[in-house]
């Protein structure tokens, strides 16, 4: 009898927890795992990757979200200020996904109206991981921002620090995933 009651109690506890668990703003990717690959790696600066941005999707945006932005940042870059690999903003609030390779501006795969500004590579669009050889493992933080404004009022020539400032001042919520990459000397 005690075993049955304990099992029933545990079952109720887990069921109740699942029912009352909050759905939070969440970012995920069908393409990206714990490690970036040659698919995402930059094609330049000594790197020979495909420079393909990963598929990203998000769910449970908070009430009041008027647009989204996505960034990819490497805090481990030996620059003193990290390295911005991707900045996309003015993504319409009815969007919840960036398809694979949306960061390639020439393919026009990003949502209509979205702006991809310049990265630390000096060009707009996605610029994948390309850490210095033998510099160890770098982390790449991909973040989606739920914003309280339809438009940031910036353009594709806006530098990463300015985009970051506008994101900071307009963010309602954000969600991130982290992947890692390192490049060995050949």
- Reduce the DSSP state of residue 142 to 3 states and report it: strand
Query: How do residues 112-122 score in pLDDT, each as one tens digit?
Result: 999 999 999 99
Where do the domains of the chain lie? 23-181
* CATH architecture assigned to 23-181: Alpha-Beta Complex (3.90)
pLDDT tier at 185, thresholds 50, 70, 90: confident
| CA–CA distance, 179 with 131 (Å, rounded to integer) | 13
**Prediction pTM value:** 0.88
- At 161 the three-state DSSP class reads helix
In the predicted model, is pLDDT for residue 102 greater than 80? yes
């Amino acid at each position: 009898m005690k075993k049955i009651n304990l099992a029933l109690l545990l079952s109720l506890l887990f069921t109740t927890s699942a029912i009352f668990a909050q759905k939070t703003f969440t970012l995920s990717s069908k393409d990206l795992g714990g490690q970036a690959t040659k698919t995402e790696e930059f094609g330049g600066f000594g790197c020979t990757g495909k420079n393909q941005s990963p598929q990203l999707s998000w769910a449970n945006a908070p009430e009041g979200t008027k647009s989204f932005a996505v960034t990819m940042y490497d805090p481990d870059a030996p620059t003193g200020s990290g390295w911005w690999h991707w900045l996309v903003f003015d993504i319409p609030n009815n969007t919840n996904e960036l398809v694979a390779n949306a960061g390639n501006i020439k393919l026009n795969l990003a949502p209509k109206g979205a702006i991809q500004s310049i990265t630390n590579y000096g060009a707009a669009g996605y610029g994948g991981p390309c850490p210095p050889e033998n510099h160890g493992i770098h982390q790449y933080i991909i973040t989606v921002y739920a914003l309280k404004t339809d438009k940031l009022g910036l353009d594709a020539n806006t530098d990463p620090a300015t985009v970051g400032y506008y994101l900071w001042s307009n963010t309602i919520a954000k969600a991130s995933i982290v992947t890692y990459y390192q490049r060995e000397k050949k």
